[in-house]
Structures are given as C-alpha cells and as structure tokens.
Structure 1
C-alpha cells in the first residue's frame, strides 16, 4: 500500500480514504428462505462453485464516496 492516493472523481482528496477489505465466504443458500445450507472452505471447495478471484482491497474516497480498486486510486495519485 505505501503509495500516494488521489480520488479520480473529486480530484482533490489525497488524504481521506476508507480501506475496504474483502473476505469472500463461499456458501450454498436455500433457494426458498435464503438460509445458509452449506459453507465451503479453501480446503474443501464445491465442484460447482467458482472460487472468488476479485481484489482483496477496495478503496472508498472519504470525501465523495467513490469506491474503486486500489490500483485506480494509486495510478491517479502518481499524477501531479
């Protein structure tokens, strides 16, 4: 993380951000009630479910509320 961020939406914020850590939880839900019927782990994945491949971290601008991948804020922070 140790890179400067800047919001690509409001273009002024360089210091106030929310770090959103994404922790995926693989589950099988009851289609009628939505209750969790089964939970899958990395050790015992379901053969019918694709594992999560999204980013571990998302960033939210603390000024305008934009939520994007960390790379978006970092790349915009490189610009003057």
Structure 2
C-alpha cells in the first residue's frame, strides 16, 4: 500500500504539465479556482491520474473533488 505522501508526490508530479501559471501546490490548491482549469484540462488530467494509478474515477467522484488534498484522499481510497 502506497502511503499518502507518496500519492501526494505522484499527484503533484501529474499536475506539473497542466500548471501553466506555476502555482505553488498544496493540499488546499483548488483545480477550478487556483489553477483555473477548464473542463477539457480536467478531463485530460483525470485521464493522466487514472493511468498513473490504474484506477477509475467516477463522474460523481470527480464532481466532489475540488482540491489537491481531496484528490489524494480519493486516490488512496480507490487504491484500497
């Protein structure tokens, strides 16, 4: 089982190519507000996360994830 800090590091590494504004990332960083991602960017990013962790993030789950920390928690939960 991967620990949460490793998942956080992997998630932030996946965010880097999408972080066009060079925002400093934290658990509280929001995808829509801080990173200003549009829906297409979100879809591309979700696909990258799903590939990285070999998981499927449902549309319902995606709708509830607003911050980096919430995404890390969701990945940890899906990896079980």
Place the TM-score, normalised by the shorter chain, in its bin: under 0.3
Going by fraction, where is strand more abundant, 1 or 2? 1
Going by fraction, where is helix more abundant, 1 or 2? 2
TM-score (norm 1): 0.25
TM-score (norm 2): 0.25
Higher Cα Rg: structure 1 or 2?
1
